[in-house]
Amino acid sequence: MPRLDYPEAVVDLITELKRLPGVGPRSAERISVWMIQHNKANPEALSIALDTAREKVSLCDVCGFFSTLGECDLCDDDGRDVSSICVVEQPTDVLPLERSGAFGGYYHCLGGKLSPLDNTSPDDLNIAGLLRRISQSEAEGLEVIIALSSDVEGEATGNYLVEVLSKLECSVTRIAQGLPAGGGLEHADELTLMRALQGRR
């Protein structure tokens, strides 16, 4: 019996979809079927959106947020507080913080976190750019707020930053860890409760 396989065009599509982060072989197959099966799938729109994003959007050289044709909405915003810089992992971490309404300063996206397993060393992150920004800053009492994930890699990256930044003229703070809003004590894990207790005020 000859070995049956998907048509070449489907295999190519599955291969390309599988390369996306978070899309496994089964998801890639499901997406392919959906694309081919549904008239409303409109893959042309995705294909155009991909090309446009690739062409127009890049990451800002200064802060690492998305910039369109070299213009960054964050860095170009004069209305922000120059005396604080919030350090996050990814450009997608900026909007959740903005929506909280609790921060009005500038951001700095590292582009990831230190991770020996993924071979991410300090040189792979936009740390040199952060040090440059801080040393070039003319703001009085500059505060650098570290807002990284509360997992092992996020903690390690935070500790590394604290050490590096201690040599510069700025104060360094970290966002609090504790009970999430709306979460009852009975649903919190031990580590969260431990940190919530340690961070009590």
Residues 6+ apart with CB under 8 A from 199: 176, 177, 178
Q: How far is the CB of 117 from its own copies (least distance, A)?
A: 18
Residues 195 and 201: their CA atoms lie apart, in Å, by 12
102 binds its own copies (CB under 8 A): no
Q: Which is nearer to its own copies, 153 or 172 (CB)?
A: 153
Binding residues for its own copies, rule CB under 8 A, total 62
Q: Where in 105-124 is the site for its own copies (CB under 8 A)?
A: 111
Q: How far is the CB of 107 from its own copies (least distance, A)?
A: 10
Rounded to 5°, angle at Cα 130 from 126 and 134: 175
- Going from the C-alpha of 42 to that of each of 7, 38, 48, 81, the distances in angstroms are 20, 8, 10, 43
Binding-site member from 61, 82, 92, 197 for its own copies (CB under 8 A): 92
Rounded to 5°, angle at Cα 45 from 40 and 50: 140
155 binds its own copies (CB under 8 A): no
Residues 177 and 200: their CA atoms lie apart, in Å, by 10
21 binds its own copies (CB under 8 A): yes
Instruction: Name the site residues for its own copies (rule: CB under 8 A).
Output: 1-10, 12-13, 15-17, 19-23, 27, 29-37, 41, 43-47, 49-59, 66-68, 73-74, 77, 79, 90-92, 94-95, 98, 104, 111
